[in-house]
Amino acid sequence: MYNQPQSVTLQTAIIIVVKELSVRMSSFSATDITTAIRNKCINGELEIPELEVTTFYSDDLRYDIRHSVVNGIFKDLWKTGVFNPEFILNREISKSGEYYIYTPLQINNVTNPIPVPANVICNSISALRASVDELSRSDATERIRKYLNNCQIRKFHPTLRQVQSAIKRNNVSTGWSCDEIGDIICNCLGYDIDENYDCPSLSQVVTIYYGL
């Protein structure tokens, strides 16, 4: 029986994985977190639309999950003590002196997700709001910008339909049409679009106009 993958932001994926590692491992590193997130995406347990940069040519290349980004977000969360309601993560430098080892203490059997305090700001990547209501223009623009930045790195040119799908959360529509998304891409973010007049949703994002 096919199980629908849970659609989450990268920050939420990190919180999910840290909770799991803290239960089944005596200690772990940020590299373990990155590896676990990648494996969950490959196994179809999670999907992270903001990092999706290509179609299903290969499941292990579907998401651009960079360790430097995961490490940055995790450190921001750790510094704010966001995990403390369920457990404490003690940190010490590894024997090699190259990375940190985190040891969970005082774990409680809490099944609800850890809430992220409103004042938590991840400098590496903004926490994106998922809502069943129509997404605000500023939030939609931010999701689109991040997705297209990742596409640029991988030299992938998505269609408007792919962008529309990528900015969903939990498989819920944002309320933005392909035409409206195209307007944001061109007029707010400065990209060029190769128009497909027969099927506008298949119009392709191509280049950046650096004059903006």
Question: Residues 182, 193: contact at Cβ < 8 Å?
Answer: yes
Q: What's the whole-number average pLDDT of the chain?
A: 77
| Domain carrying residue 12 | 6-105
- Residue 115, domain member (yes or no): no
Residues 151, 97 within the same domain: no
Residues 146, 94 within the same domain: no
Residues 26, 79 within the same domain: yes
- Residue 156, domain member (yes or no): yes
Q: How many structural domains does the chain have? A: 2
Question: Residues 31, 100: contact at Cβ < 8 Å?
Answer: no
Give the SS3 label for residue 100. Answer: strand
Residues 146, 62 within the same domain: no
Domain boundary among 105, 129, 150: 105
Residues 158, 88 within the same domain: no
Residue with structure tokens 């949703």? 201
- Residue 117, domain member (yes or no): no
Q: What is the pTM of this model?
A: 0.53
Characterize 154-168 residue by residue with b for buried, 16 or more Cβ atoms within 10 angstroms of its Cβ, and e for exposed.
eebbbbbbbbbbbbb
pLDDT tens across 1-12, in order?
Answer: 456 788 888 999
* CATH code: domain of residue 145: 1.10.10
pLDDT tens across 140-150, in order?
Answer: 888 899 889 88
Closest CA to 146 of 172, 175, 114, 169: 169
**Which pLDDT does position 74 carry in this prediction?**
92
Which of 37-41, 54-58, 119-123 shows the lowest mean pLDDT across its residues? Answer: 119-123
pLDDT tens across 89-116, in order?
Answer: 998 888 877 788 999 986 555 444 444 4
Residues 163, 95 within the same domain: no
Q: What is the DSSP letter of 112?
A: S
Residues 100, 143 within the same domain: no
Pairing between β-strand 6-7 and β-strand 46-47 as defined by DSSP bridges: parallel
Q: What is the DSSP letter of 57?
A: T
